[in-house]
Each structure stands twice: as structure tokens, then as C-alpha cells.
Amino acid sequence: MSQTLIIGAGITGAALAYQLYRRGQTATIVSTHAEGGLASAASFGWLNASYFLSRPHYHLRYQGLAAHRRLTAQLSGLPTTWPGCVWYEATGDAQAETAADLRALGYTVEALTKAQIAAKLPALGPVPETALHFPEEGVADPATLARALIAASGAKVIRATVQSLTSDHGKVIGALTDLGPLIADRVILATGTGTPALLQPLGLALPMLTRPGLMLTTNALPPICPVVLATPDQEVRQDAMGHLHAPASAGHQGDHAESLGSFPVVINATLQRLRGLFPGQEIHFGRQAMALRPVPGDGLPVVGQGPVPGLWLAVMHSGATLAPVVAEHLVDEIIGGVESPLLAEFRPTRFQ
Ligand SMILES: Cc1cc2nc3c(=O)[nH]c(=O)nc-3n(C[C@H](O)[C@H](O)[C@H](O)COP(=O)(O)OP(=O)(O)OC[C@H]3O[C@@H](n4cnc5c(N)ncnc54)[C@H](O)[C@@H]3O)c2cc1C
């Protein structure tokens, strides 16, 4: 049986290990951070296809929702939920245009009146005139999901940092870590923002955008937000324990900021916006998490065979949504040797 070394224990590495296990293969995972990864541990975890950059990106994201549903059918007790999203990040004509674009792609979009929004979200203070409802959208905690997938896969996890990839006669045959060498038949990089440093010695410059993200979690509150709520200046969801989870930037999936500013200022501003959305609630700071989002230079995933034989790449933003479907198709490619049309637009070669 082939030995696969996956570098990275976030949602991407975990989903890959699980898909290898489903096809009768075992993997070793080596990771600086514990199971649950880095960006995965700071994610908002909104599963959606309503945000997309191109038609192929939409289709991949839409298949991402289906892949999450397959995971929940295969493994009991996963924390993935499907509350849907109430969206009014755009208003007026722009909102109608978003609805028309998404419907043309086959997405389920319901137009909500003010009364319907108020009925869905009785605790919402300022109720907009209209909003869109995306009932197919969900929420996952990528770190928790990653831990569950790694456990189910039976993969061996080594906590170590890979210093370089090792090769022989032009083929990648393993990795040199701070604990010593690891040998494998193939290596998959699920290393998020750590990827360029490992590719650079092989002559592949993978451009990555600097996109820091800050997530705020509040104290536990009574049930006030039963959906993913996306307003023009704040996205928020509530977990089963009552905590609100809120990215500190508006429209966080397409956020272009390269720096975050002063944490106390940004966190206070986010708390103020949440208090404005849900007046009368005692909303306080709970904890924060910060990570760089792994965003390749054109914003799209980088998936497929690397620049040298034996090496495969799976690097992406929106990995909470995308990792399960990317893992299904990439593992099919690795084992079956047939390229997946779904991944065709996202090949590493576009940067060579
Ligand atoms: C604030 C924020 C909000 C987000 N919100 C959403 C959202 O709502 N919806 C959505 O779909 N996506 C969202 N994302 C994006 C999503 O979380 C990421 O795309 C996804 O978590 C990436 O997972 P990953 O496993 O590829 O990377 P990571 O979770 O970053 O894991 C990378 C792994 O590689 C390891 N690693 C790296 N270099 C090395 C090395 N040299 N040696 C050993 N190990 C190494 C790290 O230790 C880590 O385990 C958000 C991200 C952030 C930060």
C-alpha cells in the first residue's frame, strides 16, 4: 500500500486523510499545530456558495455543501448544522441582482419581506425592508470537524515542523522535519499559509495574499440568532451554547484588508455593532482568535499535482466550505489517476 504523508492538520489535511481512509489507504499527518490546524481554528465556519468569484468557483462551493452533507451522513455526531442564512449585505437593486444571479445558477434563494425577517429574527433591532434567505447554507466548526475526521481516518499524527521536502531523482520522497526525516510515496501539502516556504526551494513561487482575520466570540446569550446573519457591516452566527461568533470585518470572505488595526479598538467596534443588531442583550467579549487566511494570489483554491512528481497541493481560502469536496476529488485523482473536471480551473500550473 502507498504511504501518503499529509503536511497540515487543519480541515484540509483532515479531509484528505479521511478520504484516503475511505479508499482503503492510510496516511501520516505531520503538523506544527495540533489537530484542528491554524486558520481552521479561527474560522467563522459559514458553509455557503452565495459568495463566489467565478462560475467554476460557485460550482465547487456548491458541491462543497453536498460533500459536507455526505460527511454528516457517514459519521455520527459531527457538529455541522444547516440553519440557512439571512443576507442583506447588499440592498435595493444590488440585492435583487444578487438574487437573480444566484437563481440563474440554480441556488435556492427566497426573498424575505420586513415582516418575514422580523418573524425569523425577533431579537433583531433594526429590521431591513428586504433580505435574501439562503436555506441551503450551513455552519461547521472546522477545527472540531478536523479532529473528528482525523480520528475517523486512523491517521497517525506527528507534531513536528517540516523544514523542507526531500527528493530523489526529481521525485518528492518525503520531508525533513525538526524531529528527523519522514519517507513517503507521495506528499500532500495542506499547509495553508505555510505552503510558499515549502515550494520555494522547488522553484515554484506560489503567490499568497496577506489577509489577516480576527474572530470574536461573545459570552453565552439566550437564543437570538437562529441563522447565519449577514448585514452590510456585520456577519454573525450563534452556536449551540449561545455564544455569538462574529468576524471583526464586514463581508469577511472578500475582505481585502492587509492589516487588522488595534485589537481592542477593532473588538470594541465589533461588540458595538453586535449590540446595535441585538439591542437589550448583555453582549460582552468572550474570546478572540486571529489567523492569516490562506488566500492564493487570485483568491481561488490551488489544487492538484505539484511542480515535481510525488507532490500534491491543496491550499485554499473558504476551506471550511471547500475542504471536504476538494479532498474527495483530489484523492480520486491521486489514486485513480483521472483528473477531475471540477478542479480544472484551480490547478497550481496557473502560477508557473
Ligand atoms: C477569521 C477567518 C474566518 C473564516 N471564515 C470562513 C468561513 O466563514 N467560511 C469558509 O469556508 N472559510 C472561512 N475561512 C477560511 C477557512 O477557515 C480556511 O480556508 C481553512 O481553515 C484552511 O484550512 P487548512 O487546513 O487548509 O489550513 P490551516 O487550518 O491553516 O492548517 C494548516 C496546517 O498546516 C500546518 N503547517 C503549515 N506549515 C507547516 C510546516 N512547514 N510543517 C508542518 N506543518 C505545517 C499548520 O500547523 C496547520 O496544521 C476563514 C478563515 C479565517 C482566518
Name which residue leads in pLDDT, 230 or 351. Answer: 230
**Distance, CA 295 to ligand 1 centroid (Å)?**
10
Residue 89: its pLDDT value, please?
96
If you average pLDDT over residues 184-195, what whole number do you get?
98
pLDDT at 220: 98
pLDDT of residue 255: 80
Instruction: Quote the ligand 1 centre to 55 CA distance (angstroms).
Output: 24
Can you tell me the mean pLDDT for 305-320?
A: 96
Residue 133, CB-side half-sphere exposure with 13 Å CA sphere: 17
Which residue's CA lies nearest to atom 35 of ligand 1? 8
Q: Given pLDDT bands bounded at 50, 70 and 90, which one contains residue 262?
A: confident
Most informative mutation of 318, 322, 326, 330 for ligand 1 (most atoms within 8 A of CB): 318
Cell of 206: 506560489
Q: In this structure, what are the phi and psi dihedrals at residue 36, rounded to the nearest 5 degrees? A: 120, -15
pLDDT for 80: 97
Selected from 3.40.50.2000, 3.50.50.60, 3.40.50.1980, 3.10.20.30, the CATH number assigned to the domain covering 4-63+142-208+296-351 reads 3.50.50.60
Check if 4-63+142-208+296-351 and 85-135+212-292 are the same fold.
Answer: no
Q: Is 64 in the pocket of ligand 1 (CB under 6 A)?
A: no
Grid coordinates representing 54 are 467565478
Does residue 310's CB lie within 6 angstroms of at least one atom of ligand 1?
A: no
**Three cell numbers, residue 160:** 513536528
Instruction: State how far the Cα of 3 lies from the Cα of 183, in Å rounded to an integer.
Output: 8
Q: Which residue lies with its CA nearest to atom 13 of ligand 1? A: 318
Q: What is the pLDDT of residue 61?
A: 98
- Structure confidence at residue 253 as a pLDDT band (50, 70, 90): confident
Q: Return the DSSP state at 24.
A: T
- Chain segment 114-148, per-residue pLDDT in tens: 999 999 999 999 999 999 999 999 999 999 999 99
CB of 45 sitting under 6 A from ligand 1: yes
| Model confidence at 1: pLDDT above 80 | no
Give the orientation angle of helix 11-22 with respect to helix 319-336, to 10 degrees: 40
Q: Cα(39) to centroid of ligand 1, in Å?
A: 3
Q: What is the pLDDT of residue 286?
A: 98
- Rounded mean pLDDT, 269-297: 97
Quick: pLDDT tens for 71-104.
999 999 999 999 999 999 999 999 999 999 999 9
Q: Hey, what CATH topology would domain 85-135+212-292 get?
A: D-Amino Acid Oxidase; Chain A, domain 2 (3.30.9)
Q: Is the pLDDT of residue 250 over 90?
A: no
The structure's pTM equals 0.97
Mention every residue, 6+ apart, whose C-beta is less than 8 A from residue 86. 112, 117, 120, 121, 131, 132, 133, 227, 228, 229, 230
Per domain, the residue ranges of the chain are: 4-63+142-208+296-351, 85-135+212-292
Give residue 260's pLDDT band: very low, low, confident or very high (50, 70, 90): confident
* Confidence (pLDDT) at 307: 86
Model pLDDT, residue 288: 96
Residue with the nearest Cα to atom 21 of ligand 1? Answer: 40
Atom index in ligand 1 nearest the CA of residue 10 equals: 25
The mean pLDDT value of the chain amounts to 96
Predicted pLDDT at 9: 98
Q: Provide mean pLDDT across the span 41-59.
A: 97
Centroid of ligand 1 to alpha carbon of 91 (angstroms): 31
Residue-level pLDDT at 249 = 85
Q: Is 183's pLDDT higher than 90?
A: yes
CA distance 17 to 319: 15
- Does 291 score more than 90 pLDDT? yes
